[in-house]
Each structure stands twice: as C-alpha cells, then as structure tokens.
Chain A
C-alpha cells in the first residue's frame, strides 16, 4: 500500500513520544553535577549510589513492596472465588456482583483515597497503614478478577464435570483440576496487581502519614525540594526493573495475558 510509509511515520512518532523520555532520563542520570541536565556533561554513578543508600528511599521501597505483595495476595484470595462463581454459575444478582467487583476500577483513585482517609483514618477506625492496604487491595481486585475470569472462561467446564462425576468433591476438583489449569491467569493476575499497587499514587497520596509513605509518594515529595539527578537515577532503576518484568512475563506468559 502506498500509504504504508505514513503509517510507519505515525508509529515512529508514537513510539518516540512514549519511549523517548525514557532514553533521555537514562542518560541524564549519569550527570556528574547536581542539576538535571541533558545532554549530560560527564559520567558518574554517584546518584545511583546516593539514592540506594538514602534511608527514606529504602524504607519507602520496603513499604511499597510489602503493601504490593500483601494486597496482591489478598486480592487473589478474595477474587478467585468470585471469578469462579460468576464464570460457572448463573444466579440472580450476578450483574450487580460484577458491578460491585469492577467498581474500584471505575471510581477515580483520588476519590477513593479521599473517602478512605475521611472514613477510616480521620475517624481513627484503622491505622494509616491498614487503610493503605485496604485501598490497594480494593483497587487491584478488578484486575485479579478479570485476569482469572478470562482463563476460567477458556477452560472447558467438561473437565470439572468429568472429575465431579467420577466422585471428586467440588472443592477437591477446584484445587486439583481447576487451579493448576488457570495457573497462567493467576500468575499474570498477580504480576498485574503487584505492579498496579506498586505504582499507585492517587490512593497512597491521601493515605500517607509519618513513617507510612510509599516509594512513589516519597519520590514526588523529594522532587518538590531537590532538583538533582537522584530521582533520575531512581527512575532509571524503576524503568529498567519494569522492562525486565515485562520481558520476563512476555517470555513466560505471552504479553497479551497482561493487558
């Protein structure tokens, strides 16, 4: 087609808008002076060492990882039964259940964060960290349910029926037959939940307090006061880590499973 050259140009424009800044931040993180600059005037690993040794980043990284891990596991624990029930049984109020489960994906994060802050933290029902965990679990739940649901839909019901008719208890069938077959869906759900929670800003923005700040929030606060390449170095590390996870997931699961 004679237009294919224009399509290619559009693709290159799109890719450079999406990925170009990543390359620039990569080079800017080796800048030896203490301003954020591109092109860099030299080469140093100072900012990488600095950012890795700062306790505020270390502490917030640990908190972010812990919240992401617990929220993802919790959302799978809560989400798998719902996904199983909605995929295998039809019952009254199924639409309503689906609506409730997807609601955290529809409500803007900031709105949810504000509501959780006012309802739980300011009324001293839960601590900030517990509320943070609740909020993160709620917002990653729709991803868990969706991903598990799509692999359940692809699994023929006849396999379970065969197991059940041969005398296996439905619970036993679930753990021995269904779960191993939807392994890929569960793993990609976990990855998706973990990344979503780890990257979340809008919920964590309101649910932060003394000693309870997730990494993205600490990065944003730090940026307000210091204009040096340390956040560039940290961003480069995060971008590299994400790329590694995406490539690994693509190799193991196929990239289509993640989105």
Chain B
C-alpha cells in the first residue's frame, strides 16, 4: 500500500537512521557514552529532571482541576449548554499554540494584567518579573493541556452508568466512599488516558517553554532546539531527541499496560 511505503520510507527510515547514528560510530562500534554524557553533565541532567517534574506537576494539577470540572460538565442537564461547554473545551485545542502562548505575555508581562493589578492595589511598587520563570511555563502548559484532560475525563464519566452512583448512595455510601469506591475505580482508564496525554504533551511541548521560559527555564525541548540550531551540536541534539522519545514511549507503554490490567480485572 502506498501509505505504508510513504511512512516507512519518509518517516520510519529517517528516524531509525538518526537513532542509529547516535549509538554507532564507525571504527568504534556500538557506543553509549553519549547517553552517559547527557546524564553526567549538570546542565542537561537539571533540564531533564526539571522537565519531568514540571510535566508531572502540570498533570497532577490538571487532574485535580479537571476531574471536578468534568463532573460538572456531566451533571449539566440541558443539552445545548452541554454542547456549548464541549465546544469551549475543543476550541482551545484547535487554536494555534503560538497564539495561545502569546496570550500569557499580556497576562504576565511587565505591563500585563497581573503587574498592573498588583501595582494599582499598591501591593508592589515596581513591576515584578513573572515571565521566564518556572511558574510562567507551568501556567502556560496547564492552559495548553487542561482541555485534553477534561475531555478524556468527560468521556470516561459518560461511560459510567448513571444508576451505579445512585445505587451506591441508596446502599448508604457517603460522598467520600462514593468517590473513592465508585468514581475513581470506574473512571481509572480515563484518568490514565488523560494523564498520559498531558504528561507526554508537556514533556515534548516546545512553544510554551520557548516563549514563557526562554533560556532561563530551559526544558528538554528548548535544550534540544538550542543544541541543534544554535550550537549545531547534532550528536547531542539527537541524544536529547532519543531520550525525549523514549520517555514518552515509556509513559505510553506503562499506561497501556495499566489499561489492559484494568480490563482483565
């Protein structure tokens, strides 16, 4: 089929060759020292840990806000309001990430909403730097990926039969029990899917860390771009790319293992 030929020739082969070059050196054979170097260097190690922690915290906060928000969407009775809410959830996903991230400059910038608000309330005397901080990257990523989390959870909650919570209630379950024994286990697959999407999205996102973090808050993606385009260090760029790919692959495999486990249960 032409489609497979296209993907193999123009997608898989370039990927494999590029990966291969990072672990094979003519004359030396198989080498792993480049990968060891990545974790030995303080900068790249810090960047990796920061990327993972940042993605993890965005995922957790997205889950904490997204779960009750999804429950609210589900509990809406009017069909037209529900479809309006779904449209509002889909719309940011379809919007250009550059435009979405740029919006935060007007919120967090020197003359942005927050600084002007704090100045007019006399909480601060001069503008504070909010851009190029970890907090800025965090809110930017949260805005980018929260809709994905809410949508995953909404579809998980929609599959939950409506009478199950009612039955649990009538059998005397309190709200806490209802949530931990009914909602959480029955929507666990949606939670895992949403978290996987958010986590892998965060760890590979480029625009947000580039615009809101700059070189002060380097992430894996911005470091990769710097190595490839600024310092022209192709080997290191490839090493970072492979590490990025393997990280997302590991999360994907873990989540798939979890959902097959859930099915078997």
A residues bordering B, Cβ < 8 Å? 1, 3-4, 6-11, 13-15, 17-22, 24-25, 28, 35-39, 78-79, 81-82, 85, 97, 100-101, 103-104, 106-112, 114-120, 134, 137-138, 141, 195, 198-199, 201-202, 205-206, 216, 219-220, 223, 227, 231-232, 234-236, 238-239, 242-243, 245-247, 250, 255-256, 258-259
Q: A13-B69, A17-B143, A202-B206 are in contact. Are A35 and B225 (CB under 8 A)?
A: no
Stretch at the interface among B28-36, B39-47, B111-119, B186-194: B111-119
- In Å, the complex CA distance between A116 and B12 comes to 10
- In Å, the complex CA distance between A104 and B10 comes to 11
* A24 surroundings in chain B (CB, below 8 A): 103, 106-107, 113
* A118 surroundings in chain B (CB, below 8 A): 14, 18, 234, 238
| B218 interface contact, C-beta 8 A | no
- Known A110-B224, A115-B15; further 6 A-B contacts with Cβ < 8 A: A10-B69, A21-B103, A108-B241, A138-B10, A238-B96, A258-B90
- In Å, the complex CA distance between A207 and B13 comes to 17
* A35 surroundings in chain B (CB, below 8 A): 111
Residue in B97, B109, B206, B224 whose CB lies within 8 Å of A199 = B97
Contact present for A10 and B103 (CB under 8 Å): no
- In Å, the complex CA distance between A11 and B83 comes to 14
Q: A101-B3, A112-B15, A232-B106 are in contact. Are A220 and B241 (CB under 8 A)?
A: no
- In Å, the complex CA distance between A177 and B63 comes to 44
Question: What is the distance, in angstroms, from A60's C-beta to the closest C-beta of chain B?
Answer: 12
16 contacts between A and B (CB under 8 A): A3-B175, A13-B65, A14-B66, A17-B65, A18-B147, A19-B91, A24-B106, A36-B105, A81-B1, A97-B4, A103-B12, A109-B204, A114-B237, A115-B18, A119-B13, A247-B87
* Secondary structure type dominating chain B contacts: helix
| B198 interface contact, C-beta 8 A | no
* B175 surroundings in chain A (CB, below 8 A): 3
* A114 surroundings in chain B (CB, below 8 A): 18, 224, 228, 237-238, 241
Chain B interface residue number, banded: 35 or more
B224 nearest CB neighbor, chain A only: A110
Residue in A13, A21, A97, A206 whose CB lies within 8 Å of B100 = A21
| B167 interface contact, C-beta 8 A | no
Q: How many A-B residue pairs have CB under 8 A?
A: 244
* A81 surroundings in chain B (CB, below 8 A): 1-3
- In Å, the complex CA distance between A7 and B73 comes to 9
Question: What is the distance, in angstroms, from B54's C-beta to the closest C-beta of chain A?
Answer: 16
- In Å, the complex CA distance between A116 and B16 comes to 11
A3 nearest CB neighbor, chain B only: B175
Residue in A4, A15, A36, A111 whose CB lies within 8 Å of B75 = A4
Contact present for A37 and B7 (CB under 8 Å): no
Contact present for B241 and A110 (CB under 8 Å): yes
Contact present for A111 and B244 (CB under 8 Å): yes
